[in-house]
Amino acid sequence: MKLLLVIFLVHAIFIPCFSFDVPGKDLPLTLDYYKSTCPTAFDVIKKEMECIVKEDPRNAAIVIRLHFHDCFVQGCDASVLLDETETLQGEKKASPNINSLKGYEIVDRIKNIIESECPGVVSCADLLTISARDATILVGGPYWDVPVGRKDSKTASYELATTNLPTPEEGLVSIISKFYYQGLSVEDMVALVGAHTIGKAQCRNFRSRIYGDFRVTSALNPVSETYLTSLRELCPESSGEGDSNVTAMDNVTPNLFDNSIYHTLLRGEGLLNSDQEIYSSMFGIQTRRIVSKYAEDPVAFFEQFSKSMVKMGNILNSKSLVEGEVRRNCRFVNT
């Protein structure tokens, strides 16, 4: 029975990338949605993001991650931005987000400027989607056109935030299933993981990796051993010690959006178990090939990352498109 299960899982992950019915893909997002109502929207967001990333390059990764966590929970509808109230349980305290997800103040800052230019016009969901694209460009990543016209939800889902988002210690089969659930393929998943080339991780999220199979995946390489020693100095083995200490997931070019993260995985030095799994897992026949392709061809990575970000941004909450709103304050539903 166990052998049959392994054969089934390997086959399931090696299947071609089929076409999925992405929620919201036929709904009215357009490139010129704000052409008459707020023609300066894109420029205002770009200008402010330039200042924000200049202040701290890490802000680019923070904004991209915030967008990802939004889209994986009831679509790209800015539900992740809602604060908890007496009548609404938000997503900020869900286990994948609490003490980890940041960037809410960045959104507030941009929203205040947009509201002064075009009150009640540009949704928080669109603002976050555009900001993620601009953040990528500002640290050396690719450009893509951002279709807009999203509405902000009046609800959030703590439950979906807890179950839909991949975790740092998750195995490959489970990660792929979560991407498939969103209508995203294996190729999309490996490309989107590439955003970790500019991210940082907390000790609590990579402790099990550096005290687990890191030496196995890095094949006892002396250079990798030096890197591992530095990671263990930063992150003690005992739970609770240094939990919030952070380090770059790409220790070669941490502030540059490039394909270096895939070289890290080839060396077996992925900081997060969920990242290294896409190259080292026994089930990673297809994902291993894609990692090698992106490591060898940065243009292919950039092209697919752009496509996958558009595809993820098109995961919409159809209910919000009908019943949603443009929040005046991204943290609260309009009253």
Task: Note the pLDDT tens digit of each residue in 157-175.
Answer: 999 999 999 999 999 999 9
Which residue ranges are tagged as binding site for Ca(2+)?
70, 73, 75, 77, 79, 91, 197, 250, 253, 258
pLDDT of residue 44: 98
Long-range contacts of 282-285 (CB under 8 A, 24+ apart): 282/6, 282/10, 283/9, 283/10, 283/13, 283/172, 283/173, 284/13, 284/172, 285/10, 285/13, 285/14
Look-up of token digits 């923070």: 62
On whether the CB atoms of residues 227 and 214 are closer than 8 A, the answer is: no
Which residue ranges are tagged as binding site?
70, 73, 75, 77, 79, 91, 166, 196-197, 250, 253, 258
Nearest to 168 by CA among 214, 209, 211: 209
pLDDT of residue 317: 85
Low-confidence residues of the chain: pLDDT under 70 = 1-27
Provide the CATH number for the domain formed by 40-165+312-323 in this structure: 1.10.520.10
Domain segments of the chain as ranges: 40-165+312-323, 172-176+178-309
pLDDT of residue 27: 53
Question: How far is Cα 156 from Cα 19, in angstroms, rounded to an integer?
Answer: 28
Give 261-275 pLDDT, tens digit per residue.
999 999 999 999 999
Taking the complete model, does pTM exceed 0.75, yes or no? yes
Active site residues: 69
Q: Domain 172-176+178-309 belongs to what topology?
A: Peroxidase; domain 2 (1.10.420)
